[in-house]
Structure 1
C-alpha cells in the first residue's frame, strides 16, 4: 500500500501505518545510564520527518536505560517484580519521547498497558486506533502489562492490533548480520531473511516470541540504523541500507 505523500526523492512512501521499536539504550546517547535529552530530541526529529509525510506512527520504547527486568532477576530479585519495574521504566521513556515530540508540535499520546490515569491513557484498542486516524503518534508503554514478555513482543502485539503494515526496528547497526559486525570485519549483512531462518540461526532480530508473532501475522520487520540521519524517512521510500525479515 502507498500513500500520496512522498519522501525527499519524490518516491512514494511504502507504508501508511508503521510501528517504530527502539531500545531504551537508544535514548542514552553516549551516557552510561538514563536519558540524554539531545538524543531524545534527535530521535523525535526523525519521527517528525516521517509523520510529516502523512504516515501514521506507533512507537514502543524499551526500558533498559533505566531498569531491565532480566538483569534484576539475575541479581536475585523476584522475576515478576523485576519485570514490573522494567515496565515502569518504559513509561518514563515514553513520557520523555512524548514531551520531545510535542515540543515539535506533534500531537502524541502515551498509552500504558498498566493503568495510571494521572500520567497517561490506559490501553483501549479502539481509542488508540482513533488517535492514529487523527494523525497522533501513539507511544505504547508498560509492555503487554504482563511479566515474562519483552518489549519486542509488546511492539509486535500492538503492531498487529493496530493493523500496522511493518515494524521498524531501530538499532545501532544498519541491518541483520550473520555475526557481530563490530567484532568481525567479514560479517555479512542480509538484504532479506525469512522469519524461520532468523529463528533457527538466532540472529538477534527480536526475541523468538516476537518473530513468531510477526510471522503468524505476516508482518515484515525492517531492521535499520537509528544513528543514520534521515534513515527512517529514507527507508519508507525504499532507500538506504536495511534488512527486511519476512516470509
Structure 2
C-alpha cells in the first residue's frame, strides 16, 4: 500500500479529536482522503487535528456531533453535507469509521439503567444509525470500520456493559458485510487492547507498576499506541483490503495468548 492510497476518497471518523480517533484521522489524511472528523465537546482539540492534517498537505474539517441521543445521526449527516461541499460537490462518502465510544466501568450489581442506556446509545445505537442514515451517501466499493475492543472476547465483569456493546458492534459488522457486499462495500471491526491514550492516562501514565503489567499482557511486550490501530484502519480502508469483510481484526498485540 503506497502513499496517498486514498486520494479522491472521503472519510468520516467519529470521535476524531483525540486518542485512537485522532490517529486514524491523521493517518487517513496522510493517505490522501478528505477527512471529516467529529467531536462532542473538545472543539479546540478537533481544530488542532484539522490543522495537523492540513499542514501535512491533507484536507479535513471538523463537525460537532453529540452522539447517543435521538436524531444524532441525521444531525451529523446534515453537518457533513454542509462541510463536504467545498471538497466534494457530490457529497458522497467512501469510508465510515465508527470510533466514538465511551467506557463504562461497573459490574452487574453496580450498573444502573441510565448507565446501561448511555453506553449502548453511544457505542451501539449511534453507529447503527450513522450507517443507516449514511447509506445513501456511501459510495459503492466503500468501507465501514467499527472500533470494537479486545474486551468483546473476554470475561470482564467489571465492564460488563461495555464488553456487551463491543460484541454487538462486531455482530453489526458481520451483518453489514453480508447486506452491503453486493455493492462492493466491506465492513469490519478493529479490536484494540490496552492503548496509551488520554482515556487510560489516569491509571496508566506515571504508574510504573501498572504500565509494566499492561505491557506484559501483550505477546510483543509493550503497550499499544494509537498509531498501531490507525495503521490497521488505513489498511482496511484501502483497496488492498478489498477481499476482507465481516471480520474482527485483533489489534491487541497478541494479548492474553
Assess same fold via TM > 0.5. Answer: no
TM-score, L = length of structure 1: 0.43
Whose helix fraction is larger, Structure 1's or Structure 2's?
A: 2
TM-score, L = length of structure 2: 0.42
